[in-house]
Each structure stands twice: as C-alpha cells, then as structure tokens.
Amino acid sequence: MPQNKLDEFYIGYLPAAPAGLGKMVRKVIILLLSVATAAAVILVFNQKPFYPSVYEFGKTRTFEGVLQEQPYPTLLVARSGEVGTLPNYSQYLLVGDGKFGAAELARGLDGKRVRLNGALIYRHDQTMIKITEGAITALDDRSTTLPNNSGKNLGTFQLSGEIVDSQCYLGVMNPGESKPHKECAVRCISGGVPPIFVVKNFAGAANYLVLVSEEGKTINQELLPFVADPIQISGQVVQYDNVLVLQADPKNYNRLN
C-alpha cells in the first residue's frame, strides 16, 4: 500500500521536533498545567485554616516572678495595677530548649523569686514561656511565700479528647495535633514537656487540661501510648486561675477506636 506521507519521528539531535508532534506535546503540557493549577486551587480553598497560635521565635523577653516547681515548673508573675476580678498572678508554664521540659532548670527553686529569659508561646488563654537563654536565676537566697494557689475542685468528669504536647500545640508547631504530629508529641512529652488533654465541644471550641496523676504528680512516661489517639478519661478537674488540671490514673484511660 503506497504511503503519501511518512510518519513523524522525533530525533533528539535535530534543532526542533516535527510540526505535528510538537503541536501535540504543547497541548498535553497546557492540559497538565491546567489540571495542576485547578488541583492546587481546590486544595487551598478546602484546607482548614490554621489556628492563630503564636510562638515568638527569636523574640526574647525577661520575666521575673515566683517559681512553682510542681507538678510542672510554672512562673507566677504579679499583675500590675488594678486587677479587678482577675487573679493577682499570671501563670506561665515553663519549658526548656528543644523538646525538653524545665524540671532540671527549676530544680531547687520552688517558692523563690527568679529571673529568666524566654520566648512566649500562646493560644487562646493559655500562655507558656520557652526558656531560650541560660538558666533560671534566683534573685536572692530567701524563699517567698507562694500565693494562695490551692485550686478549686470542679468535680469529677468523663471527658473525650486527645493528648498533645503543650509547647507544640500552643504555638511552636501548627497544627501540633493528631496523627501527623504523633511522633513529635511523644518525643516532647517524654522529654518532660507538660502533656495537655484537648477536649472540644460540638461547636469545635476547646478546653485544655494539664494531665497529672490522681495524686497530682507528673505522668509523662505513663501516658505515651495514648498520645494523638482519641481517648476518654474520667477524673477530677481542678482549676488554678485560668489553668485546668485533670487528675486521673493513666491505667484507666480508654481508647475510643
């Protein structure tokens, strides 16, 4: 059968592809670029917005206050001026450099006035200080009477939620929760970062509860198997100003799936 036209064939060392083949390749490239652009736009508009949590990375402040060592190192800073119905002290959970808590830095300083340098981490009404320079410095050798911080027992509750590490969830990572963040959260909590139980209502609003044992002691290692899983905890909730603490035995934690 005679052929009036040879099939086009691309040869790499020639300066240009055959006209018909080049035209087809251009159409394919335009189509692929259009599909990729459309997919990117769809993903952007369907992604949930990040929560406006903040980590003041690189912005170091100096803080002075009374240090409370247990259950997790906390700095109590006196409010200035008229406080009205607010507590006389603001409470700041403390964490150390990297993925470590501040227990070693705070050891032996319970009840003392101290000075430290750090960066603020905050989300909603929860605020933390990440110590970024040097150690915690005692301002004198005397202990200070801690403010009345015995807490208010709100009762026993059965709550469902997720265990997260406080420093990442409050602002260092965004989002600092769920399965993608599990390994990071385990490393932070095992390093002494205070664990937080995030409980959300039907509208999506969250409450944050610091997790301790029934006796009010740290339980970081015991709860590692439950991090980032949906779980249910029954325990006693105690309120310290704007900080909620959930006292429960990790042996009684229950997975929901």
CB-based contacts of 202, cutoff 8 Å, min separation 6: none
Separation of alpha carbons 96 and 157, rounded Å: 31
Which tokens in the block code for residue 213? 């044992």
Distances (CA, A) of 233 to 61, 92, 162, 199, 209: 37, 25, 10, 10, 11
**Per residue, what are the HEC states of 166-203?**
HHHHHHHCCCCCCHHHHHHHHHHHHCCCCEEEEEECCC
Closest by Cα among 81, 119, 68 to 243: 68
Which tokens in the block code for residue 47? 């992604």
Mean pLDDT of 145-174: 85
Q: What are phi and psi of 148, to 5 degrees?
A: -60, 105
Separation of alpha carbons 20 and 25, rounded Å: 9
Closest by Cα among 177, 198, 167, 195 to 94: 167
Residue 250 has pLDDT above 70, yes or no: yes
Q: Coil, strand or helix: which one is 68?
A: strand
Task: Give Rg (Cα) of the chain.
Answer: 27
Closest by Cα among 180, 252, 256, 181 to 223: 252
Separation of alpha carbons 102 and 95, rounded Å: 5
The whole-number pLDDT of residue 61 equals 92
Domains with residue ranges and CATH for the chain: 54-143 (2.40.50.140), 152-255 (2.40.50)
Are 243 and 206 spatial neighbours (Cβ–Cβ below 8 Å)? no
* 125-144 per-position pLDDT tens digit: 889 999 987 788 998 766 66
Least confident of 96-110, 145-159, 160-174: 145-159
Quote the percentage of the chain above a pLDDT of 70. 86
Separation of alpha carbons 152 and 96, rounded Å: 28
Closest by Cα among 150, 133, 202, 190 to 182: 190
Residue type, 49: P
Closest by Cα among 243, 196, 208 to 89: 243
* 196-244 per-position pLDDT tens digit: 999 988 777 888 999 999 999 999 999 999 999 999 999 999 988 778 9
Residue type, 224: L
pTM passes above 0.85: no
* 61-88 per-position pLDDT tens digit: 999 999 999 899 999 987 776 656 666 7
Residue type, 185: A
**Count of C-beta atoms within a 10 Å radius of residue 181:** 20
Q: What are phi and psi of 17, to 5 degrees?
A: -75, 160
